[in-house]
Amino acid sequence: MKQGAIWVRPFYYLVVFTVATISLYPILLMILSSFKKSVDIYKDPLGFPTSFSLDTYRTLLSKIPFTTYFMNSIFVSIVSVVLIVVVCSLASFYIARFKFSWNHALFFIFLLGMMIPIKLGIVPLFILMRDLGLVNSLWALILMNTATGIPLSMLILTGFFKTMPYELEEAARIDGAGNLRVLWHVVLPLMRPALGTVVIINFIAAWNDFFFPLIFITEKMKRTIPVGMMSLFGEHSADWGSLFAGLTLASLPMILLFFIASKQFMEGLTAGAIK
Amino acid sequence: MRESTASPLTKRKSSKRWTIHLFPIPALIIYGMFVLYPILAALSYSFFEWRGMARGDFIGFRNFVTLFTTEPYGSMFWNAFKHNILYFVVQMVVMNGVAFFLAFIIYQKIKGAEFFKAAFFLPRLLSVIVVGFLWKLILNPNFGTLNVLLEKLGLETLQKAWLGDPGTALIAIILVNCWFGLGFGVLIFLAGFQGIPGELIEAAKLDGAKGLTLLRTIYLPLMVPSIMIMGILTFIQSFEAFELVYAMQGSMGEPYYSTDTLAVFFYRLAFGSSTASGTTAIGLGSALATVLFLFILICTTVFLRFANKKDVQM
């Protein structure tokens, strides 16, 4: 028994170190290679960059309108997140704090969305967006991000609303506050942790979404970063330095945010699966 | 109405009571229009004839019959279906297996647990398209890191054109997907381990259970809920697999459809492919969407029923 205990711990560390290396190395390689000239990558793909130059980034920015893609991504992600927070706060407040007979059914309908493989509805969606005049509009992406983000956000917010005591709310009501004021001034400030989770999950999903922009956006200047990457790899596939630079720029905002708030990220992204 | 006779105060109150019903409306409209309607419409589309994007006559099940009995659709369907099954099985065994073990290790209170959790999780933050392209570069036969690494280790015999060989392309993509999703699994399983009441473990330890015995007899049965959750999530994700294949191997599931999945096949039917016969087949695509949707729905429902019978909470 004792003998077992001696090798078990080192074995555990060996396993976690190996897997952590496999997890991190490709990302590190991506960032390091983005500072190398393409010739150096071909000569020695594993080596460290001999000199840190931003040439690859300059070439990248001259090849594709990355700043435009970046602004498009920012706009789409932020507006989607704001919309989700607003509509889901209102709806989950209604479902969690009132006891109308249809609230259970309503909640169930919202949750159903987590089981629906929405990609399979892409043909009707495309026709719908065409009829609404939203093909090649960033609003098509915003609406899709909002709609697909609603089920999980409803689950998180409704769950949190239910745990909150009614006393404060009632005090405000006696003072004559209406529903909207109760929600805005009394309930929402107490909801910060849950709102933070909702913001994080939906921001990541919107930032990384690739499928809907692939279908709805064909105009070059309306692309978001993931689809921009697609054209970068299609048109400039020979210049590996710039390719790595593009991948790095596309991922950097998320990686930086993760360093700032890794705990919230990890709790946020698993919030739907863990009760 | 009664309000006309009521005092100003109650009048204001009753108007407030009515406005509360507006609260869920915006969410319902957006969700209904862009999630519920398209999936229901997709089901109905499969019963109509289509010319391009224009809907024709009601033709009953004819799209379904064509999909399964006409070549190349029939063989393409089963070819892709097999790949989706493999996707699911490999992810369950490799990704969830490793994730389970890693979670167990972290649960043993090792040093640097927070760092390891974050390290496993980091790939999950990248866009799937970035993941696909990054690994395409790493797996490149000439300048890719993997082959160069194998050479340096003196393992030239293992070098391969990983994504160009029909024998390895699909498995390579699935393993990339495992790399992407591993950290998520670790967190789910870790939460499962941490939810196990400490007294149970103490009692088992007093009875002399240790190491693997403890894992098998105590932890594993108590971890069934987490395993079920990961099973369902992996199942849905495996049968929706699209982005990674599309990014790495294109809409034809190259080479020679060896990496084709049902969602990629569906994309080809709905939006055409780059080949000469690049016409769209909305009717067939919708029939495929319906089959896939019902398959996912039925499997997950059966699974959940089974889970509930075993007294598992989701």
Q: What is the residue range of B299's domain? A: 72-309
What's the pLDDT tens digit per position in B244-263? 999 888 888 788 888 999 99
Which residues in chain B have Cβ-Cβ distances shorter than 8 Å to A215?
271
The mean pLDDT of chain B is: 83
Asked if pLDDT for residue B9 goes beyond 80, the answer is no
Q: What is the mean pLDDT of residues B177-201?
A: 89
Asked if pLDDT for residue B149 goes beyond 60, the answer is yes
pLDDT over 90 percentage in chain B: 32
What's the pLDDT tens digit per position in A103-115? 889 999 998 888 8
Band of the pLDDT at B16, cuts 50, 70, 90?
Answer: low
What is the predicted pLDDT for the residue at B12? 47
What's the pLDDT tens digit per position in A25-67? 999 999 988 888 777 777 777 777 777 778 888 888 888 888 9
Distance, in Å, from the CA atom of A24 to the CA atom of A41, rounded to the nearest integer, reads: 19
Asked if pLDDT for residue B312 goes beyond 80, the answer is no
The mean pLDDT of chain A is: 86
Asked if pLDDT for residue B150 goes beyond 90, the answer is no
Query: Are the C-beta atoms of residues B17 and A98 closer than 8 Å to each other?
Result: no
Q: Which of B30, B118, B289 sits opposite A120 (nearest CB)?
A: B289
Any idea where the domains of chain A sit in the sequence?
2-56, 64-235
Number of domains making up chain B: 1
Q: Long-range contacts made by residues A15-23, C-beta under 8 angstroms, separation at least 24?
A: A15/B101, A15/B102, A15/B105, A16/B102, A16/B105, A16/B106, A16/B110, A16/B116, A19/B98, A19/B102, A19/B120, A19/B182, A20/B115, A20/B116, A20/B119, A20/B120, A22/B179, A23/B119, A23/B120, A23/B122, A23/B123, A23/B179, A23/B182, A23/B183
Of B20 and A271, the one with more pLDDT:
B20
Check if A253 contacts B (Cβ < 8 Å): no
Of A207 and B307, the one with more pLDDT:
A207
pLDDT over 90 percentage in chain A: 34
Asked if pLDDT for residue B172 goes beyond 90, the answer is yes
Domain harbouring B137, CATH code: 1.10.3720.10
Which residues in chain B have Cβ-Cβ distances shorter than 8 Å to A244?
137
Query: Are the C-beta atoms of residues B49 and B56 closer than 8 Å to each other?
Result: yes
The verdict on residue B17 lying in a domain is: no
Of B289 and A180, the one with more pLDDT:
B289
Please give the residue of chain A at the shortest CA–CA distance from B137. A240
Q: Take residue A229 and report the two structure tokens written for it.
A: 């990457």
Q: In angstroms, how far is CA B54 from the centroid of its own chain?
A: 31
Q: Counting beta carbons within 10 angstroms of the beta carbon of residue B180, is it exposed (0 to 12), middle (13 to 18) or buried (19 or more)?
A: buried
Asked if pLDDT for residue B275 goes beyond 70, the answer is no
pLDDT along chain A (275 residues), means of 10: 66 93 93 82 73 81 88 95 94 87 90 86 92 93 95 89 79 80 82 85 90 90 89 78 89 88 78 61
pTM of the model: 0.87
Q: What is the 3-state secondary structure (H, E, C) of chain A?
A: CHHHHHHHHHHHHHHHHHHHHHHHHHHHHHHHHCCCCHHHHHHCCCCCCCCCCCHHHHHHHHHCCHHHHHHHHHHHHHHHHHHHHHHHHHHHHHHHHCCCCCHHHHHHHHHHHHHCCHHHHHHHHHHHHHHCCCCCCHHHHHHHHHHHHHHHHHHHHHHHHHHCCCHHHHHHHHCCCCHHHHHHHHHHHHCHHHHHHHHHHHHHHHHHCCHHHHHHCCCHHHCCHHHHHHHHHHHCCCCHHHHHHHHHHHHHHHHHHHHHCHHHHHHHHHCCCCC
The verdict on residue B88 lying in a domain is: yes
Which residues in chain A have Cβ-Cβ distances shorter than 8 Å to B184?
269-270
Q: What is the mean pLDDT of residues B294-306?
A: 87
What's the pLDDT tens digit per position in B123-137? 999 999 999 999 998
- In angstroms, the separation between the Cα of residue A177 and the nearest Cα of chain B is 10
Q: What is the mean pLDDT of residues B31-39?
A: 94
The verdict on residue B66 lying in a domain is: no
CATH code, A64-235: 1.10.3720.10
Asked if pLDDT for residue B11 goes beyond 70, the answer is no
What is the predicted pLDDT for the residue at B309? 65
What is the predicted pLDDT for the residue at B119? 94
Which residues in chain A have Cβ-Cβ distances shorter than 8 Å to B80?
none
Residues 94-153 of A with CB under 8 A from B: 94-95, 98, 106, 109-110, 113, 115-125, 127-128, 130, 143-144, 146-148, 150-151
H-run or E-run covering B74: helix B73-90
